[in-house]
Structure 1
Amino acid sequence: MNILSVEQLKKSFGERVLFENLTFGMAEREKVALVARNGTGKTSLLRILANEEMPDDGRVVTRKDLRVGYLKQEPEFPAGIEIMQWLLTLEHPLLKAVIRYKESLENPAKAGDMTDSLSEMERLNAWDTESRLTAILDKLNLKDIHAKVDLLSGGQKKRLALAGLLLTEPDFLILDEPTNHLDLDMIEWLEGWLSDAPFALLMVTHDRYFLEAICTTIYELEDGELYKYDGNYSYYLEKKEERAQTQQSNIEKAKNIYRRELEWIRSTPQARTGKSKSRIDSFKKVKQDAHKQVQNKQVEIDVKMERLGSKILELHKVKKAYGNLPILNGFSYTFKRGDCIGMVGKNGVGKSTFLRLITDSEEADGGKIITGETVRFGFYRQDGMQLNNDKRVIEVIKEIAEVIPLAKGRSMTASQLLERFLFEGDQQYTFVSKLSGGEKRRLYLLTLLMANPNFLILDEPTNDLDILTLNVLEDFLLDFEGCLVIVSHDRYFLDKLTNHLFIFKGNGEVKDFNGSYLEYREELAIEQEKKREAQKLYTAPKKEVSRPKREKTKLSYKEEREFEELTAEIEKLEARKVEIAKIFESPDVEAGEIEQLSIEMNQLTERLDEAEMRWLELSEFTEE
């Protein structure tokens, strides 16, 4: 059953048409990814589907009462409100029940409201909603529930918006780059949650492992047209190549027909029969098909690298801490030519600090950092993109150089280099402020590479770059002869480029792991399995010793007394539960008393479960 129908959708940005005549639908529980180059309208399409932007033409029809959740690239929050306060304002029956219950506690004079709110909490089983909230926030590393939302970092805001979606569980979820600002553990947890979730999903993501594991349908937006692939990312790559080959084959056939028909046109007299006029009309269509081109333009990266000497970068017992928080505790490593190192670890454990230390933008507390004379750093910062929004694209490049030296003694003008980075024609004269997030990232990368670095440091380079640009960047980095250090939460990117990891575990501990990220996760899985097996071995002897003795003997005197006491206690616990239930039904009960009794009821239930389990264990040995 369709939950969403898109009909003849069109959207323009100034004179530039992003897409038109888009028509597609989505079914319940269908999980779809949207793939396209930066600047082709992905975010605009998502905003239209989320009813946050209007199309120029066409319409979006959704199922009645469809609950839609939308995760923006840059979420916005009201000022002055705390994390927990914001979450409790979201549209969801459980949350509304909790809010009503809290309000009734604050107004004990309204006994009727208290009774109604208690009934609603019981009916929805909402007593653990706040604890669920806390658990989700903890998983997403948002532990200070009293922090003001407008004072959070960009990454924290993204994770808070995601937490709100996890809690409200919409029927249709729209995600714009959901893995940005999440560490690897969070990404893998979110991947599992979305894979099993019972709702429809449409997302834009550059994370190819994430896309591969979750989505069963791929839509590609190319040159304003939408192509559908019924399969995962691997299937999409295979069928996309087949489509390109078919298109090229059709163009070649059209060219052959065009040449033949062109000769006929030139040789045919001016007087046309009805049949020849029909052939002329067909000729026009053939001519149009013959002059089509398969759009296979992609970013081309070809820059010169400065010579790199034998001494590159050495770290000797480097120490760094912020107050009582250790970042590095005596870390040592000597970089070699061709090193491709990935840095992984949870957010806040010191990866960015490490990068500032090795680039000499921050001082270490102890140890030595020695940089070779020939080293020229190129530092792509996730938060360091400083492009002047009032300048045009070509002005940004010309400020660095009018002519750019390339590899093998060649050179290129600023305009030619921009064309290689897919800034063509009029777009070179577009103001930076008009570029999409991904286009700005692409321009920032170009300004970095123009400096001809031989030691590249990439801090979250995949954020906001489209998959096609990432593929080209990966190919360039695979051939890069200098040193490469990558901080990334993109597992595919790490596995393709690195064979050595610095694993930041926190408290100053950094593990030097010789292998890929996939190999590291496999090693972790083996270690966890060994721990589980060791735990089984530790607990097994207790069972083996106790069971034979219990089968052959009756209860000891002490166990008989315990059995009698448990029997009496269970009776008292059950009687108290009945008493509390009757009190709840009374219209005269006060709000403060109800709150205390609710706490007591939970405690009674937990103790009753424990007592009954122990009573059952002992009851096995009470019969002759």
Structure 2
Amino acid sequence: MNYLSAENIGRDLGEKWLFKALTFGILQGEKVALIGSNGSGKTTLLDMVAGLTETDGGEISVRKDIRVGYLPQEPEMKDELTVMETIFYAENEITTAIKNYELSMENNDIDLMSSAIETLDALQAWDYEAKVKQILGKLGIHDFNKLISQLSGGQKKRVALAKVLIDNPDFLILDEPTNHLDLQTIEWLEGFLSTSNTTLFLVTHDRYFLDKVANRIMELANNQIHKFTGNYAYFLEKKADREANDAVVHEKNQQRLKKELEWMRRQPKARTTKAQYRIDAFHDLKEKTAAGFKSDDKIELNVRTERMGKKIIEIHDISKSYNDITFIDHFNYVFKRGDKIGIVGKNGMGKTTMLDIIMGITKPDSGSVIKGETIKIGYYSQGGLDFSEDQKVIDAIKEYAEFVKLGDGRELSISAFLTMFLFPPKVQYNPISKLSGGEKRRLQLMKVLVQGPNFLILDEPTNDLDIDTLNVLEEFLESFGGCLLVVSHDRYFMDKIIDHVFAFEGEGYIKDFPGNYTEYRNWKDEEEKAALSQKKEKVPAVVIETPKTPAPDKKKMSFKEKKEFEDIEKTMKKLDERKTAVFDLMNGGESDFEKLGALGQELEEIKNELEEKELRWLELSELEG
């Protein structure tokens, strides 16, 4: 079943086409990832599919009988609503049924009430509020009564993500869903989406996420859509084959073009009509050869760093707390030459606080940070972009240096350095206002790198960067001769770059682990399995020893047991009565939808308690017999 069909769609920016004549489709059950460089039009394409932006030519058709959910990069929500009100404000089958139930109670509409109850029963939605809180909690939102206006940009994105997941649409469109999520939450979302039946169309630059969630990849490049059936690893293999083939075709076109150019030059000015087809073919070939192939050859950026003395940075017994919450508790570390350390942990654990303490932006409650005299720190923060919008791209970098010194003694011009970071010469003289959000982030990162630091501190450098840029950045950092301290939620990036982990595990404890992120996670999983295994091993020990003290052979119940037996029967009777009363309230006697969730929870608790009482009643009844 076809959920989406796009035929010859395009987007005209006036001076140029962002993309043109794109044709593709998405079938029910497919999980399709859209990838491409920053500024190629991925977000614009998602907006078109979601119906928020008109196409400049062509047509997009979405199946009419399905529900569509969309998570934009910057979701809009009502500031005056709380987190929970925002979720319940959504329009889906469950919230509609709850609102109809409330309306039926107000108007004494028996038919509407019966329909609402039937829907809630069919959807098993009496515990809807509990499910909402569970998903919000998984996404790191725990204050359900907080106003949207009081949330950070990252928290708003997570609430919006929770909202679309809870709505459970047939067709889910996600634009950078992993941004602002910590590693543990990304792994939860990865599992959630990969096992759901929802048809998915998403943009993400998280390569592990792509590999585990997507079963089809579409690459938006050079105004074309390249389609690959398979995960990200398969895409990389087939893309390499395609580029090799393109290189061969390009070489053949160049040879043909050279011959045709010689023919064109030999012809007299008054050409005959008979040769016009060949003239037209020449111009087509010239255009195709000029635009149809781009080489991915790269210079290895082994940038020279400032000389380091023996003392780099020493962290001596630092601690930091806010509002009685301990983020760092007596942490020590002495940096060594070539250290490349990744900081991981849940959001709100204190990762950025650690960076700010090392930078001297925040003071620790106790302890000290001592920096060597030769250390020159380059700090890339999550904060706002520091650019003048009307400034040219190249001028923003030339403020800090005219040349970049390479490790072999050569110098690279700023223009060449910008080109290596995927800012071609024609873009370098454009105003910064014309760059996409991801391109501006890339420029901000370059501004830090070009100043020649020998100690890099990077706080979420991979946010909003496309895969091509990530590859360039990874190559740069692999050859970087100084020290690196990085916070990132990109597991692929962390595995490729770092060889040491500072893991914020809670209550101020920071695990100093030698290895990359995956090695740390594997070690953590083994530790948790071992701890669980130890607990299980203790249970049989008690069971085995119990028969050594045989219980007396009771033919009759003691007075105490008789009293317990009588009390259990009374309790079971009361629980049965309360169970009936709760069920009646849920099916017509309760008007507050918030209480419906509480009643559903109470009903579950009553069932559990009844089971326990019944088991004990059976044990005692055997003694009586």
Is TM-score (shorter-chain normalized) higher than 0.5? Answer: yes
The whole-number CA distance in structure 2 between the counterparts of 1:393 and 1:158 is 29
* Structure 2 residue aligned with 1:490: 490
Q: Is the 8 A contact 1:108 1:591 kept in 2?
A: no
Q: Is the 8 A contact 1:108 1:592 kept in 2?
A: no
* Structure 1 residue aligned with 2:51: 51
The whole-number CA distance in structure 2 between the counterparts of 1:583 and 1:494 is 53
The whole-number CA distance in structure 1 between the counterparts of 2:475 and 2:295 is 16
Q: Is the 8 A contact 1:501 1:514 kept in 2?
A: yes
**1:570 CA displacement:** 4.7
Secondary structure of the residue aligned to 1:61 is strand
* Structure 1 residue aligned with 2:508: 508
**1:377 CA displacement:** 0.4
Distance 1:359 1:275, change over 3 A: same
1:334 partner letter: V
The whole-number CA distance in structure 1 between the counterparts of 2:593 and 2:247 is 76
Q: Is the 8 A contact 1:314 1:369 kept in 2?
A: yes
The whole-number CA distance in structure 2 between the counterparts of 1:265 and 1:542 is 95
Secondary structure of the residue aligned to 2:58 is strand
**1:258 CA displacement:** 4.6
The whole-number CA distance in structure 1 between the counterparts of 2:590 and 2:38 is 64
Unpaired runs of 5+ residues, structure 2, are none
Alignment RMSD (CA, Å): 3.8
1:496 partner letter: K
Distance 1:259 1:577, change over 3 A: closer
The whole-number CA distance in structure 2 between the counterparts of 1:586 and 1:242 is 64
Q: Is the 8 A contact 1:88 1:99 kept in 2?
A: no
Q: Which moved more, 1:181-190 or 1:310-319?
A: 310-319
Distance 1:584 1:311, change over 3 A: closer
| Aligned positions of 1:124-143 closer than 5 A | 124-143=123-142
The whole-number CA distance in structure 2 between the counterparts of 1:6 and 1:112 is 42
| Aligned positions of 1:92-111 closer than 5 A | 92-101=92-101
Distance 1:109 1:342, change over 3 A: same
The whole-number CA distance in structure 2 between the counterparts of 1:388 and 1:33 is 34
* Structure 2 residue aligned with 1:245: 244
The whole-number CA distance in structure 2 between the counterparts of 1:571 and 1:543 is 33
| Aligned positions of 1:62-211 closer than 5 A | 62-101=62-101, 121-211=120-210
**1:613 CA displacement:** 4.3
1:160 partner letter: V
| Aligned positions of 1:160-559 closer than 5 A | 160-258=159-257, 294-296=293-295, 301=301, 303-544=303-544, 557=557
Q: Is the 8 A contact 1:97 1:126 kept in 2?
A: no
**1:12 CA displacement:** 2.5
**1:93 CA displacement:** 1.7
**1:311 CA displacement:** 1.1
Distance 1:157 1:319, change over 3 A: same
Distance 1:64 1:154, change over 3 A: same
Distance 1:601 1:136, change over 3 A: closer
TM-score, normalised with respect to structure 1: 0.89
Distance 1:283 1:610, change over 3 A: same
Distance 1:255 1:430, change over 3 A: closer
Q: Is the 8 A contact 2:214 2:231 kept in 1?
A: yes
The whole-number CA distance in structure 2 between the counterparts of 1:400 and 1:446 is 10
The whole-number CA distance in structure 1 between the counterparts of 2:490 and 2:158 is 17
Q: Which moved more, 1:93-102 or 1:169-178?
A: 93-102
Distance 1:320 1:532, change over 3 A: closer
* Structure 2 residue aligned with 1:5: 5
Equivalent residues, number: 622
Distance 1:373 1:256, change over 3 A: same
The whole-number CA distance in structure 1 between the counterparts of 2:35 and 2:594 is 55
Distance 1:250 1:318, change over 3 A: same
The whole-number CA distance in structure 1 between the counterparts of 2:225 and 2:555 is 75
Distance 1:538 1:391, change over 3 A: same
Q: Is the 8 A contact 1:195 1:213 kept in 2?
A: yes
Q: Is the 8 A contact 2:556 2:623 kept in 1?
A: no
Q: Which moved more, 1:560-569 or 1:252-261?
A: 560-569
**1:561 CA displacement:** 7.2
**1:506 CA displacement:** 2.4
The whole-number CA distance in structure 1 between the counterparts of 2:514 and 2:83 is 40
Q: Is the 8 A contact 1:31 1:215 kept in 2?
A: yes
1:190 partner letter: L
2:238 partner letter: K
* Structure 2 residue aligned with 1:607: 609
**1:101 CA displacement:** 4.6
Distance 1:587 1:222, change over 3 A: closer
The whole-number CA distance in structure 2 between the counterparts of 1:337 and 1:385 is 30
Q: Which moved more, 1:558-567 or 1:76-85?
A: 558-567
Percent identity, please: 44
Q: Which moved more, 1:594-603 or 1:26-35?
A: 594-603
Q: Which moved more, 1:335-344 or 1:269-278?
A: 269-278
The whole-number CA distance in structure 2 between the counterparts of 1:264 and 1:618 is 106
Q: Which moved more, 1:570-579 or 1:61-70?
A: 570-579
2:92 partner letter: H
**1:508 CA displacement:** 1.8
**1:411 CA displacement:** 3.8
Distance 1:108 1:339, change over 3 A: same
**1:605 CA displacement:** 3.2
The whole-number CA distance in structure 1 between the counterparts of 2:464 and 2:269 is 58
Q: Which moved more, 1:412-421 or 1:472-481?
A: 412-421
2:26 partner letter: M
1:156 partner letter: Q
**1:564 CA displacement:** 7.0
1:492-521 per-residue CA deviation (whole Å, 9 max, x = no partner) reads: 111111111111122221111111111111
The whole-number CA distance in structure 2 between the counterparts of 1:432 and 1:549 is 82
Unpaired runs of 5+ residues, structure 1, are none
The whole-number CA distance in structure 1 between the counterparts of 2:323 and 2:578 is 52
**1:52 CA displacement:** 1.2
The whole-number CA distance in structure 2 between the counterparts of 1:344 and 1:582 is 49
The whole-number CA distance in structure 2 between the counterparts of 1:333 and 1:592 is 50
Distance 1:515 1:426, change over 3 A: closer
* Structure 1 residue aligned with 2:33: 33
Q: Is the 8 A contact 2:302 2:480 kept in 1?
A: no
**1:294 CA displacement:** 2.1
1:607 partner letter: E
Q: Which moved more, 1:181-190 or 1:503-512?
A: 503-512
The whole-number CA distance in structure 2 between the counterparts of 1:170 and 1:590 is 26
The whole-number CA distance in structure 2 between the counterparts of 1:490 and 1:121 is 40
Secondary structure of the residue aligned to 1:557 is coil
Q: Which moved more, 1:432-441 or 1:292-301?
A: 292-301
The whole-number CA distance in structure 2 between the counterparts of 1:531 and 1:398 is 56
1:264-284 per-residue CA deviation (whole Å, 9 max, x = no partner) reads: 777899999999776676666
1:339 partner letter: D
**1:569 CA displacement:** 5.5
Distance 1:257 1:130, change over 3 A: same
Q: Is the 8 A contact 1:11 1:17 kept in 2?
A: yes
Distance 1:175 1:238, change over 3 A: same
1:407-453 per-residue CA deviation (whole Å, 9 max, x = no partner) reads: 54444554444333333344333332332111001110111112110
1:155 partner letter: G
Distance 1:108 1:145, change over 3 A: farther
**1:113 CA displacement:** 7.4
The whole-number CA distance in structure 1 between the counterparts of 2:58 and 2:253 is 33
**1:606 CA displacement:** 3.6
The whole-number CA distance in structure 2 between the counterparts of 1:244 and 1:438 is 25
Q: Which moved more, 1:252-261 or 1:185-194?
A: 252-261
The whole-number CA distance in structure 2 between the counterparts of 1:504 and 1:585 is 47
